Structure 1
Amino acid sequence: MTAPGRKPPLPADVFGDWERIPVDDQAGSDFTEILRIGTFAADHWTLGPDGPHQRPRPPAAVAGSQIREALLHLLELGLIDIDTGRLHTAAGYPMQRSTRP
């Protein structure tokens, strides 16, 4: 993953290019371990009493709730941190992910 202080600079404007941070997503990497834990949390929600098997909802709502549950779980375990300075400093964030670093 990325060491603190090693993040690329923020773009100067809303539509500026973002330099992507390389992530090792190969089997056995830290990413795959975090993915496994987050996926477990999302699956647990999906199959639990608040999930779509008990309370049907549109696919986009299901996906959003799965991501929310996984992200909350990883944050609560302290496995990921929110860079609040970076979050609030950027003029905007790209929503499309068409290329890989």
Structure 2
Amino acid sequence: MATKPPTPTGLNDWDRITVDTNPGSDFAIIDRVASSAAMAWACNSPNGPLKKPMPLMTAIDGVVHEAILHLLELGLIDIDTERLHGASGWPLHRKR
């Protein structure tokens, strides 16, 4: 994992950490685990959108929630609470 830049002071101060997204990378493995958890919720859960119709935004919120929760429960990711609470806000879009 790359060293994190300092906690940003504003919405536009976030420097991105380089992530290897190539097939077989650690990211690719975690992505597959998270996607599997999200798909299981969406397709098989009685609370998922295939069993209980819902607006697209609710379904997206549900699959993201399930994926992140699954990775946290497995201990594959950690929350950087110092960075989370030390920032004044979080940008919603990536710099391209």
Q: TM-score range by the shorter chain?
A: over 0.9
Matched, 1:31 2:27: yes
SS for the counterpart of 2:14 is coil
Matched, 1:58 2:44: no
SS for the counterpart of 2:12 is coil
1:41 is displaced (CA, Å) by 0.2
TM-score (norm 2): 0.92
Against the structure 1 CA distance between its residues 15 and 41, is the aligned structure 2 distance closer, same or farther, given a 3 Å change threshold? closer
Mapped partners of 1:16, 1:95: distance in 2: 10
TM-score (norm 1): 0.88
Structure with bigger helix share is 2
**Structure 1 stretches of at least 4 aligned residues deviating more than 4 Å after TM superposition:** none
SS for the counterpart of 1:96 is coil
- The percentage of aligned residue pairs carrying the same residue is 49
Choose from 64, 89, 96 the match for 2:93. 96
2:75 aligns to what?
A: 78
Choose from 8, 15, 21 the match for 1:11. 8
User: Structure 2 unaligned runs (5+)?
Assistant: none
Summarize deviations over 1:24-78 as a string: whole Å, max 9, x none: 0001100000000000000000112111111000111101100000000000000
RMSD of Structure 2 on Structure 1 (CA): 1.1
User: Structure 1 unaligned runs (5+)?
Assistant: none
